[in-house]
Amino acid sequence: MKSIIIRRGKFSGKTLAIFGGVHGDEEVGVKIIDELKNGLSLEEGTVYLVYANTEAIKKKKRFVERDLNRCFFSENKNSSLEDRRARKLIKIMDKCDAVLDLHSFSDQGSDAFAICEKNAFEIANKFKVAVVSDGWSEAEPNGTDGYMFDKGKIGICLECGPKNEINKSLKVARHAVEIFLDHFGCKKNKTKTQ
Ligand SMILES: [Zn+2]
């Protein structure tokens, strides 16, 4: 299975990435990439659809050797599986104007929330989330959102919902993808927003 799929629109535009499975046991992002792989058609720009931690996704584990979401920093020379994967993904992120990274969490009954810095609030505030919070790139460094922010670009980590409420999480994620693509002038995709 290809882990990085590129979709290009008819016209040039922004370059974006949507990540699923940075944590391999968080099904929602992986399912969204599955859906987009089949359903996404763009008018403008380029979108990378990324199964982020492929080995952890196969094993349905959060990670194999190390939390991938602590491996995104420019000087990373570490040798774990996740560090090596991060270096590959960073090459894509460096081409992108913005990254939307889809996660889920264990805490049952809690609402979706978004993590990003202020430069992304305009987008994240339109998501179906209870809270948009910033300042995490210092508290929990070297995630996808912090990496993009450090480069002066937009990174949003969307915690779509509890792992065991997959349908609810999928709705939050599908809606967010629409908002994200719309914001950057890429066209709507064919997945339904409900
Ligand atoms: Zn996660």
pLDDT at 193: 46
Look at the chain and count its residues.
Answer: 194
What spacing in Å lies between the alpha carbon of 12 and ligand 1's midpoint?
Answer: 32
Q: What is the pLDDT of residue 69?
A: 97
pTM, two decimals, is 0.94
Q: Which tokens sit at 140?
A: 């929990």
Looking up tokens 């992986």 gives 30
Instruction: Check: CB of residue 82 under 8 Å from CB of residue 24.
Output: no
Ligand 1 geometric centre to CA of 39 (Å): 24
Which tens digit of pLDDT belongs to each residue from 96-142? 999 999 999 998 889 999 999 999 999 999 999 999 998 777 777 89
Sign of CA dihedral 161, 133, 152, 177: positive
Tokens coding 146: 């912090």
Low-confidence ranges of the chain (pLDDT < 50): 189-194
In angstroms, what is the span from residue 21 Cα to ligand 1's centroid?
8
Could you state, in order of their start, the residue ranges of all structural domains in the chain?
4-183
- Ligand 1 centroid to Cα of residue 6, in Å, is 23
Place of tokens 């913005």: 98
Q: 144 C-alpha vs ligand 1 centroid, how far in Å?
A: 11
CA of 104 to the centre of ligand 1 (A): 6
DSSP string, 74-120: TT----SHHHHHHHHHHHHHTT-SEEEEEEEES-TTPPPEEEE-GGG
Predicted pLDDT at 106: 93
**What does the DSSP assignment read for the chain?**
--SEEEEE-SEEEEEEEEEE-SSTT-HHHHHHHHHHHHH---SEEEEEEEE-SHHHHHHTSS-SSS-GGG---TT----SHHHHHHHHHHHHHTT-SEEEEEEEES-TTPPPEEEE-GGGHHHHTTSS-SEEE--HHHHS-SSHHHHHHHTTSEEEEEEEEETT-HHHHHHHHHHHHHHHHHHTT----SSPP-
Domain 4-183 has CATH 3.90.1150.10: no
What's the sign of the alpha-carbon dihedral 117, 155, 87, 151?
Answer: negative
pLDDT at 126: 96
The CA 146 to ligand 1 mean position distance, Å, reads: 14
What rounded mean pLDDT belongs to the chain?
93
Ligand 1 mean position, distance from CA 20 (Å): 9
Q: What is the pLDDT, as a whole number, of residue 141? A: 86
